Structure 1
Amino acid sequence: MSLATVKTWCLRLLPVVLFVISYYYSHFLLQSYGGISRSSVPRKTFCESLISVKKWETLDFNISRTNNLFLKMEDFFWQHNPSTLPLPYGLKGSELFLMKVLAVTASYEMPASISKLDCRTCVVVGNGYSIKNSSLGSTINKYDIVIRLNNAPVRGYESDVGNKSTLRFFYPESASPNPDAHNNPGTLMVLVPFKQNDLRWIKEILYNEKRVRKGFWKPPPQIWQGKSSHIRLLDPFFLRQTASKVLKIPLQPKGKEKAVHPTTGILAIYVALSYCDVVHVAGFGYPQSKNQDQPIHYYGSDTMKAMKNSYHDLSHEAQALKKLEDGGLIQYLHPHS
C-alpha cells in the first residue's frame, strides 16, 4: 500500500476516531459523584442522551423546553382569561399589582445568549449543609445556567458553591437588601410570589411608595437595591405544577387543614426541568427531623428547629426528589443520603 493511500485512509478515519473519543469522554469521564466529574461540564452528546420522552410521560409532567418562565404583560388579558386561583397558584385578585410591576420591568425574557443554546446545562444550587466542604465551586461555574435560592451567600463560600449566578429565586422575606453583594452583575432576580403582599412589596419598591409592613411572616427589606431591568416574575403555573405534579399536594386545603407549599428549592428544580436539557443539583436535603440541632445550611447557624412552623413538608419533598433522581431526571453532584 502506497504512502499516499495510507494518508487518504487516515484522513477518512479521523472523523470517526474523533467521534469515538468525544462519545467516550462525555459518557464515561463525566461520571463520578453520581455521574458527574468535578472538573467537567456535560457536553451536547451527554445532553442528548438524557432526553427521554418516556421519562416525562411516566411522571405525568407537562414539560416543554419552549415554556415561557416569566410573566409578560402581553400574555394577560384577564377579562378574557381570568385566573381561577389566587396566589401562589394563580393570579386571581392580584392582577392590578401585577400590571403595575410589569409596566416598569424592562424585559420578560431570558438572555439571548442562553435562550439560543442548542443544549442547556443547568445546576440548581441548594442551601443545604451537604454542599459544605464539597469543593464543587469550579464545576458549578461551568454550567450554562446556575440557579441559586433566596439569600444564600456566595462570597466566602466560592470553593464549595462557585460564584456564578444566572437566576436567583427569592420572595420578600428571603430577599437580600443588596442583591449585588452575592450575585453577578447580570443575574436575573426571579420573584416567586406566594401571596398578594409579595407583589405589593415589589410594586412599592419599584414605585418608591410607602411600604406596608404587615402581612409577612418576617419583615422584608424596606430598601431593596435590585435593578428593575433584572427583575422577573415567575409564572404561578410552575408552582402549581410543582405542587400538583411533583408533590401531588392539594392546591386548596380543605377545612382547617394547614396549607402546604413547595419550597423554592424543589420549585427551582421543576423550572430547570422545564427549561434545560440537563439538570444537576447540589446542596439539597435536610437532616432527619429528629436531629433538631444539626445545621441545615452551608452558612449561618440555623438548625432544623427553624423549620418547625414552616409551610413545607420536607420529608415529602425528599421522597419526590428521590423519585426524580431514580427516574434519571436529575443527578446530584455529590454523595447524599
Structure 2
Amino acid sequence: MVTLSFLMEDESRDDRSPLLLEAPASTALAAVPQRCPGGSHLDTFLLSRRNNLGLSLALLLGCYAAILVPAYSHADRLAPMDDGPPAPPHLALLNLSADLLSGPCLPQWGRDRLRTLSCSGGLLGLAPVFVEGPQEEVEGGGGDGPPGSSPLRWGGGCRRCVVVGSGGVLHGSHLGSSIDQYDVIIRLNAAPLGGFQRDAGSRTTIRLVYPEAAPASPEEYRTTSVVALVVFKSLDLDWLTSVITKRPLSFWSKLWFWRKVVEEIPLTAEHFRILNPEIIHQTGRALHSYAPSGGTRVPTLGASAVVLALQLCDQVSLAGFGYDLRHPGARLHYYEALRMDAMKGQVVHDIGSEKLFLRDLVSSGAVTDLTGAL
C-alpha cells in the first residue's frame, strides 16, 4: 500500500517551491501533478469528498428524522394495520337472511328441534293458537287494504315465519326487505313501521297487543292482517268488544286501564282474534325451569310470540331480540331513544331467564336469530 506523507507548507518561505510527496524507496510512486498557486487537484478532490460526505450525512439524518419523529410523536393516533375496512354489520345480517330465504322451506323443522329441549314438553301441540275453535292457518300478506279481505284461510304447505321484536339491535340492521319476504310476520304491541321500514319491514301478518299498548296511529294497521288480543284481565275483553263493534268504551271501564287505550282501530271484525291463554301459560312454565330461584314471572310478549310462531310455522326466525343489560347506554328499542338501563327497575319480567330460553332455542336450531344478539 502506498503511504502518503503530507508535509505542511511553511508560510514563511519565499521561494514558494512545491512540496513533494514522500514514499518509501521500495514503493513505485506515480507522478504527482505540481501544486498550482490556486490549490492542487488533490485538495479540490479531498474538499469535494468532505462536502459530499457531510451532505450525505445530513440527508441521511433528515430521512431518519422524517420517518422516526412522526412515528414516535403520533404513535397514539395510529391504528393497527389490517387487510382492509371491516364489512358493515348489516351486510352479514343480510347474508344470513338471504341464505335462509334462498333455500327450500323445511316442513316441521322448528318443532322437530324443539323436541330436543327438556323444556319443550308443554310447548308442542298448543292448538288452536287462537280462542276460536279449530286451528286456522294464517295467510301471509297484509296488502294495502285488509278490511274486506279474509286474513285467515284453511290451507297447508310449508311456511316461514319471523317474529320481529322491538329491541334496539334491529336499528341499523337494514333487514326490512328480508323481513317482508317471510310468509308470516309477527309484531308486538305498538312497535311502529312508519319511518322504520328499512330496518323493520313494512308488512304485518299478526300483531299481538294488549289494550294499553295497541298502536294509536291508523297507518300502523294499513298493512296488518290480524290484531290478536292478549288477555290479562276481563276488562281487556270489554276493550276488544268496543273496538270491534265501534261502540264507545264506558267511562268507568276507561278508569281501570293503567294507561289510555286506543278506542278505534280501522279494521273489521274478521281481522281480530284472541290469543289462546295457554300460549302465555306454557311459555311461563318453560321459563320457570330457567329461573335461578324457581320463581315465576309474567313472560314478555316477545317470548310468547316465539312460542306462537313455533305452532304456526315450519321455520321460525327472530329479529330484534336480545336485551344486554351490561350496556346500560345501549338503545333499548329500535324506534326511540330510551336506553337499556330503563329495564333495570322493572320486576314484572325475568329478562335473564328469557334470554337463556331463547338461546337454547337458537342453539338447538328450533329458531334462527337474524340479528345475532342472543
- Residue 56 of structure 1, aligned match among 115, 118, 122: 115
Q: Say whether the 8 Å CA contact 2:221–2:267 is kept in structure 1.
A: no
Instruction: State how 1:96-135 maps to structure 2 within 5 Å.
Output: 111-112=152-153, 115-135=154-174
Cα distance, 1:146 vs. partner? 0.5
- Residue 233 of structure 1, aligned match among 266, 274, 280: 274
Q: Give, as a single letter, the amino acid of the residue that structure 1 aligns with 2:208.
A: F
- Residue 229 of structure 2, aligned match among 186, 191, 215: 191
Structure number with greater Rg is 2
- Distance 1:176-1:216 versus aligned 2 partners, 3 A rule: same
SS of structure 2 residue aligned to 1:37: helix
1:98-141 superposed Cα distances (whole Å, 9 cap, x missing partner): xxxxxxxx99x9622xx523101000010111111111111111
Cα distance, 1:172 vs. partner? 0.8
Cα distance, 1:51 vs. partner? 5.2
Distance (whole Å) between structure 1 residues aligned to residue 113 and residue 100 of structure 2? 27
Q: Say whether the 8 Å CA contact 2:114–2:361 is kept in structure 1.
A: no
The alignment-based identity, stated in percent, is: 28
The answer to whether 1:210 aligns with 2:247 is no
- Residue 98 of structure 2, aligned match among 35, 38, 41: 38
Q: Say whether the 8 Å CA contact 1:247–1:317 is kept in structure 2.
A: no
Q: Say whether the 8 Å CA contact 2:94–2:178 is kept in structure 1.
A: no
- Residue 206 of structure 2, aligned match among 155, 167, 180: 167
Q: Give, as a single letter, the amino acid of the residue that structure 2 aligns with 1:193.
A: V
1:131-174 superposed Cα distances (whole Å, 9 cap, x missing partner): 11111111111110000111111121111111111000110111
* Coordinate RMSD, CA, aligned: 3.2
- Residue 311 of structure 2, aligned match among 262, 274, 294: 274
Q: Structure 1 residues 226-235 or 211-220, which shifts more?
A: 211-220
Cα distance, 1:71 vs. partner? 0.8
- Distance 1:246-1:278 versus aligned 2 partners, 3 A rule: farther
Distance (whole Å) between structure 1 residues aligned to residue 368 and residue 233 of structure 2? 32
Q: Which runs of 5+ in 2 are unaligned?
A: 1-91, 136-146
Distance (whole Å) between structure 2 residues aligned to residue 279 and residue 54 of structure 1? 11
1:4-47 superposed Cα distances (whole Å, 9 cap, x missing partner): xxxxxxxxxxxxxxxxxxxxxxxxxxxx6498333762544x41
Q: Say whether the 8 Å CA contact 2:207–2:224 is kept in structure 1.
A: no
Q: Give, as a single letter, the amino acid of the residue that structure 2 aligns with 1:129.
A: G
- Residue 299 of structure 1, aligned match among 335, 338, 341: 335
- Distance 1:176-1:118 versus aligned 2 partners, 3 A rule: same
SS of structure 2 residue aligned to 1:181: helix
Q: Give, as a single letter, the amino acid of the residue that structure 1 aligns with 2:330.
A: Q
Corresponding residue number in structure 1 for 2:132: 72
Distance (whole Å) between structure 1 residues aligned to residue 213 and residue 198 of structure 2? 23
1:298-317 superposed Cα distances (whole Å, 9 cap, x missing partner): 11122235432351111111
Q: Say whether the 8 Å CA contact 1:151–1:176 is kept in structure 2.
A: yes
Q: Say whether the 8 Å CA contact 1:189–1:232 is kept in structure 2.
A: yes
Distance (whole Å) between structure 2 residues aligned to residue 172 and residue 233 of structure 1? 12
1:177-196 superposed Cα distances (whole Å, 9 cap, x missing partner): 24x41244452001111222
Distance (whole Å) between structure 2 residues aligned to residue 215 and residue 52 of structure 1? 39
Aligned length: 264
Cα distance, 1:67 vs. partner? 2.4
Q: Say whether the 8 Å CA contact 1:65–1:276 is kept in structure 2.
A: no
Q: Say whether the 8 Å CA contact 1:33–1:332 is kept in structure 2.
A: no
Corresponding residue number in structure 2 for 1:335: 372
Distance (whole Å) between structure 2 residues aligned to residue 121 and residue 275 of structure 1? 9
Distance (whole Å) between structure 2 residues aligned to residue 226 and residue 66 of structure 1? 27
SS of structure 1 residue aligned to 2:204: coil
Q: Give, as a single letter, the amino acid of the residue that structure 2 aligns with 1:70.
A: F
Distance (whole Å) between structure 2 residues aligned to residue 200 and residue 186 of structure 1? 22
Q: Which runs of 5+ in 1 are unaligned?
A: 1-31, 76-105
Corresponding residue number in structure 2 for 1:317: 354
Corresponding residue number in structure 1 for 2:261: 220
- Distance 1:327-1:319 versus aligned 2 partners, 3 A rule: same
Choose between structure 1 and 2 for higher RCO, CA contacts under 8 A separated by at least 6 residues: 1
Distance (whole Å) between structure 2 residues aligned to residue 158 and residue 34 of structure 1? 15
- Distance 1:267-1:195 versus aligned 2 partners, 3 A rule: same
